[in-house]
Amino acid sequence: MIVQRWRRPAWAGVFTFAVVFVAWYVLTTLTQTISPGRFPPPGEAWDALKQIAVTGYADARLSEHVLHSVKLVLLGFTAATVIGVPLGLAMGASRAFEAFVNPAFLLIRPIPPLAWIPLAIVWLGLGDAAKVLIIWFAAFVPAVINSYGGVRAIEPHLIEAARMLGVSRRMAVREVLIPGALPMIFTGLRLSLQACWTTLVAGELIGAIAGLGHVLYQASLDIFPAMIVVGMAAVAVTGALMTMLLGWLERRSMPWRT
């Protein structure tokens, strides 16, 4: 019974966190095997968290930084989803369209999102628009590839059956193509969301006035390891919460899978 309880994922997760925390405390505070200059003890990280949450750091409080980053991620992610998913579906559904779009897509695909930063600044200036564009680039590719792959993975007999039943093109898309591709579309969206957060931190390194990437940049300039840990933890927690939200949306969108 006890063994079964410990097998539950939530308990296992709590146990892992507890072990990591104890190891952190023992190594940095109790035995000081790792010096504070290399990795901050929990006490310093707590002080840094209080500083950014209460008095603020890098020109804003933690809540403002988180909201700013979430705003940028949502904008980039939404734009990538709105453009990338239909594009991937269209490429998967139509050989002619794929032949038309794929060469350009294949050229753009290997370019690292961060390589767009200088051009994004020239095109859109130092504001948030340039950052959203970079995030969009990062999220766009997985959204397209997985939507395309989702359509291609639909078993041909389903499409044949729909044709034989005389289903209209629009209905085939709505009833066969999208539901059939949905599992892979969501896999792509999860990858896109992850890419958004990875790129956001890099995008905010230049010319940002708020955001978690800005916090990390400022903390690196201040050689402030405790604040770096707080910034990283904030990115991790916010990113995990958004992934959980996407998971919830996925379950709601595909009730037949639960």
Partner 1 sequence: MRRHIAAIAAAITLGIATTAAHAQQPTEIKISYQPALYWALPFYVAEQKGWYAELGLKPTFSTFPAGVPQIAASASKSWDVGGTGSVPATLGAVRYNLLTIGITNDESYGNALLATAKTAEGFMKNPASIKGQTIVLTANSTGDYAVQSCLAKWGLKKADVTIKSMGQAEIISAMSSGNADLGGLWAPNTYTMEEKAGAKQICSGQDAGAAVPGALIVRADYAKEQPQNVAKFLAVYLRAWKWLNAHQAEGIAMMKKFYEQGGVSISDASLKKEFDTRPTYDLAGQLKIMQRPAGGASEVDGWFTKIGGFMQANGTFPEAPTASKFITDEYLRMVDADPTLKEFANRTN
Is 218 a binding residue for partner 1 by CB under 8 A? The answer is yes
Query: Residues 6 or more apart from 77 whose CB is under 8 A from it?
Result: 135, 139, 189, 192, 193, 196
Give the shortest CB-23-to-partner 1 separation in angstroms.
Answer: 22
Query: Is 149 a residue that touches partner 1 (CB under 8 A)?
Result: no
- CB of residue 221 vs partner 1: minimum separation in angstroms? 5
Q: Give dist(CA 69, CA 56) in Å, integer.
A: 16
Q: Is the separation of the CB atoms in 83 and 229 below 8 Å? A: no
Could you tell me the smallest distance in angstroms from the CB atom of residue 41 to partner 1?
15
Q: Does 186 bind partner 1 (CB under 8 A)?
A: no
Q: Which of the 8 DSSP states describes residue 32? A: -
118 vs 247 by CB, closer to partner 1: 118
β-bridge mates for residue 22, sequence order = none
Q: Which of 44, 197, 217, 231 binds partner 1 (CB under 8 A)?
A: 217
Q: Any contact of residue 122 with partner 1 (CB under 8 A)?
A: yes
Question: Cα dihedral angle (68, 71, 74, 75), rounded to 10 degrees?
Answer: -120
Q: Out of 185, 189, 208, 212, which residue is the one contacting partner 1 (CB under 8 A)?
A: 208
- Nearest distance, CB of residue 56 and partner 1, angstroms: 7
Exposure class string for 127-154: b at 16+ Cβ within 10 A, else e: ebebbbbbbbbbbbbbbbbbbbbbbeeb
**Residue closer to partner 1, measured from CB, 44 or 98:** 44
Binding mask 48-67 for partner 1 (x = CB under 8 A): ---x---xxxxx--------
184, 42 Cβ separation under 8 angstroms: no
Is residue 33 a contact residue for partner 1 (CB under 8 A)?
no
Which positions lie near partner 1, rule CB under 8 A? Answer: 37-38, 47, 51, 55-59, 118, 121-122, 125-126, 206-209, 214, 217-218, 220-224
